[in-house]
Amino acid sequence: MFAPEYVSIDCPQGDISLILKTDNSFKLEIKYWSQTENRHTHAERINGTWSSKGETLTLSGNVELTYIKDKTDLTVGSRSASIPSLKFLKGSLSTFANGFELVERTKVDKLFLEATKEQKKHNKAN
């Protein structure tokens, strides 16, 4: 089973978010970051259908992207977690989005929230 939302976390060219719907449709959004303007300058949205076979996820539509389930070890502050992720296998996009791993949004959000709460406690104690 795949999670409903995934995001990029280490992508200097922009941000990638993927929503997998229960009707087997997907929404992929690619936001492009401008180093000179220090902001996202435009976004590309791709819709299509998704299918899975075992641990492999395939997105099909105007593009075809293939991922495999994986785990990404992350550390935020003193908190660490092994986050379910999608490792990029192959794709037909002509953008930076080819090649980046996506992590499960709810799990990475939880890690950041816990680390933030811990840091606030630490700051109050000092």
DSSP letter for 103, please: E
The residue behind tokens 């995934």 is 6
Give dist(CA 97, CA 115) in Å, integer. 28
Q: Nearest Cα to 6, choosing from 50, 53, 62?
A: 50
DSSP letter for 117, please: H
DSSP letter for 78, please: T
Q: pTM for the full model?
A: 0.82
Give dist(CA 64, CA 32) in Å, integer. 20
Give dist(CA 59, CA 31) in Å, integer. 18
How many helices and strands (H and E) does the chain possess?
1, 8
Q: What is the pLDDT along the chain (126 residues), one digit of tens a residue?
A: 899 999 988 766 668 899 999 999 999 998 887 778 877 777 889 999 999 999 999 999 888 999 999 999 999 888 899 999 999 999 887 666 677 889 999 999 899 888 888 777 777 777
